[in-house]
Chain A
Amino acid sequence: MSWDTGMPLLVLASSLLPGLVIFFLPEERIVTRTTLNLAGATLKLALVGVMIWGALYGHHYETRLPILPGLDLVLRADPLSILFVALSSILWLVTTIYAIGYLEGSPNRSRFFGFFSLCVTATVGVALAGNLITFLLFYELLTLVTYPLIVHRGTEVARRAGRTYLIYTIAGGTLLLLGTVWLYTLAGSLDFTARGFLSGLGGAHHTALVIIFVLLIGGLGVKAALIPLHGWLPQAMVAPAPVSALLHAVAVVKAGAFGIMRVVYDVYGIQFAATLGVTLPLAIVAAVTIIYGSMRALFQDDLKRRLAFSTVSQVAYIVLGIAIVGPVATIGGLVHLVHQGVMKITLFFCAGNLAETLGIHKVSEMNGVGRRMPWTMAAFTIGTFGMIGAPPLAGFISKWYLGVGALDGGQGWVVFILAGSSLLNAGYFLPILYAAWFKAPPDSWPAERSFGRRETAWALLAPPVVTALLTLAAGLLASAPFSPLQWARFITTLEYAL
């Protein structure tokens, strides 16, 4: 096995093996566990870096293991998978640091970090999957390994949330399985191919292909939290903050959105999907989700629930970009996969800091919190402005491309959706900022912990500041080489054969 065939396996192993070792570590071996966590995350980032560099110099990273006659387990680094794998390995490192700080002193950390590592392993597997069955395998694995993280606290509420999560995701996985098998019986292949591999099938199969599309998108839409399959996401908020951050920004919802990309671009091919007439309905579902999520977010007082509904809305932007036929919109969808991740993880880190340091869980308790925790709230402010789409932040780039792409693709109505959604975003974020910065703080916070002269622990403060800076950088340096935008453009040239 050469380096080129082993590389994807190494990327998986860099989080799998530390995870398995961590399970067996006694609770009090904090230093060993932290070292393993950080070493795994750093190593993965380094390996992904090598992989990107190698891919540019013509290396073809692919691992194939036979699982069934005629079907292989394929792990491959193509441009689209690199986009996702880079996002998840960067954010994993940051989240690991945050989680170490967040869970300090709480019970069952070995179990937590074990599953945390497995969760990232599954996400990276989803990213690197080179065909639909491999994708399915890691997608289901992701369901299983996130469950213990959601029920981590062991309360009755957590158990219920876990149950809801499973009902949705297992049902979704089932649809995906059904669609995949059916597709396999029709096409005889499941390998992801730029511009799809189905357009050669005759017209007699088109009805079946439309049904399969619905099955696949239905299965993926559960994790991507498309309406009406989003019900699990707000409930899963009972999980610890790093888990919410991971679920919303990196792993679960992203796996769903990424899967939709794969199905539309690399299984059906965007042009063929448009011929089948399935892209417009998908765009409409996404548009409805955007508006509905934002409307619901307006009325949540619980900060994490408000952020959760915001996720429902923001992830649908990605799907909207995918569903509009035309290269510019595609760029918008692809780049928002990264941008939404970076922005949303910032917001969840900040929400976690407020809860851990001051015991704040509700928006109505946030009056004047900007004076007590200026760094956290500064990061939060950048994240929210990014979400609203204010220039020059990352969110602006996404929305700009989506808007222009919609006009290009002859879907003018989308611009109104985008504008309305931005208004709603402002409607549920700006009052928070106003309260935090301009209202007078209360006499005492709900449950304050003191960290000396600092506003909170280093491990909690550094991650949101870093991701806020990334949000800024992704917007300001959008034209620099290797920015998410440039990479998204590169992928788009492949998917449209430009």
Chain B
Amino acid sequence: MPWLHWGVIAIVLPLAGAMSCFLWPRRAIPLGLVTALGIVTCVAGLGWQLVEQGAQRYAVGGWGAPLGIDLYADGLSLLMLMATAAVGLGVSIYSIGYFNREKARYFWPLWMFLWAALNALFLSADIFNLYVTLELLGLAAVALVALAGGAEALTGAMRYLLVSLLGSLFYLLGVALLYHSFGSVDIAILAARVESSPAVWAAVGLISAGLLLKTALFPLHFWLPSTHASAPAPVSALLSALVVKASFYILLRLWLEIFPPTSAVLGQLLALLGATAVLWGGLQALRQTRLKMLIAYSTVAQLGYLFLAFPLASITGWTGALYMLLSHAVAKTAIFMAAGNILYFGGHDRIADLDRVVQRLPLTVTAFALAGASIMGLPPSGGFIAKWLLLEAAIRSGQWWWGGILILGGLLSAAWVFKVVGYAFTRSRAPHESRAVPVGMEWSALAMSMVAILLGLFASWPLALMEIGLPFGGKGAE
């Protein structure tokens, strides 16, 4: 099975990269970059195989479920892997300039480890493996948050660690219940055996609660803003773009495959929480005076959008949510990078004192504005396509009020994006010291934002990839 080379390599390669970056810290940057390019190649290769042959299942070591470990790749996994690869490559290039030598020796091994955990998570075919990868992901992420040093970052990391462990614990309890009831942890086998029973409902509740805590859905978002804002900029980008999406991915996968079809009430509840997150996150973002805190609150809002697809339960709706996830990942990375540049340049991120950065860092402000256009859903951008699909699904299903939330959320995002851009044109009262930003950091931010725009012009390709293996064609589309 040739495709498997690609899938397995995509997991093993970053692990090997993490080891070598750890063993040869002086060579960490070239080693990490080579690994990053290698992973991107693997994901491209996997994509090619999937396009040629459709969804793929592979038994590691030839054992197969229920005994061995299975990997499974369909359009949904592929999209997540691609988003990770795109963001990962951008962050890798960005962090060359961002971290000094001392920080770099810790950053690279941890980041490669995080990447391995993400890739493994998106390829796992059973819920226990998902638990393992989720735990690995959490540990790597916590360590990366602590990388900034200082009391603020350590407090943030500690809080994140506790939340992460608690979330995983809930998830694990749910997994245990399911295993006890049906004697398997394989998603496909569970899907065939699962039926409505109190134990299943308890499992659904535990799993959902754990994953929602990790995805930071309102009101479980309390930990996210301070953690994401205190981390170093490339790490903030990774957390907002990928790490919170990983737990969402698990929830989506289980929702589509395992959860009993009668969970319509739960769907409405999730969307209600999502809608509250959109409005609350947007309003809070608007109130912030610090740029990174603002962006972190916007992540809370954007995560809310993803949950609006649950009550719509149509292929268009799921596709829209997944497209939202993809374009938010790319755009938010660009925005955190731009914020990192501004912080690097002026030594602060107070919005009212941006002091004409539009002249002094034109590429960065352009990146911020373009990515912002995607976040608020203006055409042409990935965010617009996602919003269009979700709106269409909302109107077609007769639940137009979810569409209204999308519209309001877009307006709130527009308000904060342009608040920042507006201050980028004006002078601040007192002049500030500044230092030059490495060229690579400016250009990688711009490149990421260009990807967010291009996602709006060439949407048909990713949309076609999503359909491989019909991930949304099952129960979710009823």
Is A144 touching B403 in the complex (CB atoms < 8 A)?
Answer: no
Contact mask for chain A residues 141-174; partner B; CB cutoff 8 A; 1 contact, 0 none: 1011001100100111011001100100011011
Is B378 touching A154 in the complex (CB atoms < 8 A)?
Answer: no
Mark out the residues of chain B between 133 and 188 whose CB falls within 8 Å of any chain A CB in the assembled complex. Answer: none
Is B426 touching A155 in the complex (CB atoms < 8 A)?
Answer: yes
Taking a contact as CB atoms closer than 8 A, the residue among B384, B387, B407, B425 that contacts A151 in the complex is: B425
| A230 close to chain B: CB less than 8 A | no
In the complex, chain A residues whose CB is within 8 Å of the CB of B422: 151, 159, 162-163
B122 CB, nearest partner CB in chain A, Å: 24
Knowing A155-B426, A170-B411, say if A67 contacts B457 (CB, 8 Å).
yes
Query: Nearest chain-B residue to A68 (Cβ)?
Result: B459
Q: In the bound complex, how far is the Cα of B458 from the Cα of A68, in angstroms?
A: 8
Is B362 touching A181 in the complex (CB atoms < 8 A)?
Answer: no
Knowing A69-B460, A154-B425, A185-B392, say if A111 contacts B362 (CB, 8 Å).
yes
| B388 close to chain A: CB less than 8 A | yes
Q: In the bound complex, how far is the Cα of B425 from the Cα of A158, in angstroms?
A: 9
| B410 close to chain A: CB less than 8 A | yes
In the complex, chain A residues whose CB is within 8 Å of the CB of B44: none
| B395 close to chain A: CB less than 8 A | yes
| A178 close to chain B: CB less than 8 A | yes
The bracket for how many chain A residues form the interface is 35 or more
A159 CB, nearest partner CB in chain B, Å: 5
In the complex, chain B residues whose CB is within 8 Å of the CB of A163: 418-419, 422
In the complex, chain A residues whose CB is within 8 Å of the CB of B356: 154
Knowing A136-B379, A159-B425, A178-B391, say if A68 contacts B407 (CB, 8 Å).
no
Mark out the residues of chain B between 399 and 451 whose CB falls within 8 Å of any chain A CB in the assembled complex. Answer: 403, 407, 410-411, 414, 418-419, 421-423, 425-427
| B463 close to chain A: CB less than 8 A | yes
Is B392 touching A156 in the complex (CB atoms < 8 A)?
Answer: no
In the complex, chain A residues whose CB is within 8 Å of the CB of B379: 133, 136-137, 140-141
In the complex, chain B residues whose CB is within 8 Å of the CB of A73: 457
Is B460 touching A181 in the complex (CB atoms < 8 A)?
Answer: no
| B385 close to chain A: CB less than 8 A | yes
Q: In the bound complex, how far is the Cα of B356 from the Cα of A460, in angstroms?
A: 29
Q: In the bound complex, how far is the Cα of B380 from the Cα of A136, in angstroms?
A: 9
| A490 close to chain B: CB less than 8 A | no
Taking a contact as CB atoms closer than 8 A, the residue among B358, B388, B403, B426 that contacts A68 in the complex is: B388
Q: In the bound complex, how far is the Cα of B462 from the Cα of A69, in angstroms?
A: 11
Knowing A66-B460, A140-B378, A144-B378, say if A181 contacts B425 (CB, 8 Å).
no
Contact mask for chain A residues 58-83; partner B; CB cutoff 8 A; 1 contact, 0 none: 00000001111100010000000000
Is A170 touching B414 in the complex (CB atoms < 8 A)?
Answer: yes
B465 CB, nearest partner CB in chain A, Å: 13
Q: In the bound complex, how far is the Cα of B426 from the Cα of A158, in angstroms?
A: 9
Knowing A67-B457, A137-B379, A159-B425, say if A182 contacts B395 (CB, 8 Å).
yes
Taking a contact as CB atoms closer than 8 A, the residue among B362, B387, B423, B456 that contacts A159 in the complex is: B423
Q: In the bound complex, how far is the Cα of B358 from the Cα of A137, in angstroms?
A: 25
Query: Nearest chain-B residue to A165 (Cβ)?
Result: B418
In the complex, chain A residues whose CB is within 8 Å of the CB of B421: 147
A382 CB, nearest partner CB in chain B, Å: 37
Is B426 touching A181 in the complex (CB atoms < 8 A)?
Answer: no
| A479 close to chain B: CB less than 8 A | no
Is B414 touching A184 in the complex (CB atoms < 8 A)?
Answer: no
Q: In the bound complex, how far is the Cα of B411 from the Cα of A148, in angstroms?
A: 19
| B359 close to chain A: CB less than 8 A | yes
| B396 close to chain A: CB less than 8 A | yes
Contact mask for chain B residues 85-97; partner A; CB cutoff 8 A; 1 contact, 0 none: 0000000000000
Q: In the bound complex, how far is the Cα of B388 from the Cα of A162, in angstroms?
A: 27
Mark out the residues of chain B between 445 and 478 whose CB falls within 8 Å of any chain A CB in the assembled complex. Answer: 456-457, 459-460, 463
| A177 close to chain B: CB less than 8 A | yes
A368 CB, nearest partner CB in chain B, Å: 38
In the complex, chain A residues whose CB is within 8 Å of the CB of B342: none
A sample of 22 inter-chain contacts (CB < 8 A) reads A65-B457, A67-B457, A68-B388, A68-B389, A68-B460, A69-B460, A108-B359, A137-B379, A141-B379, A143-B378, A147-B421, A148-B358, A148-B425, A154-B425, A159-B425, A162-B425, A170-B376, A170-B411, A177-B387, A181-B392, A181-B395, A181-B403
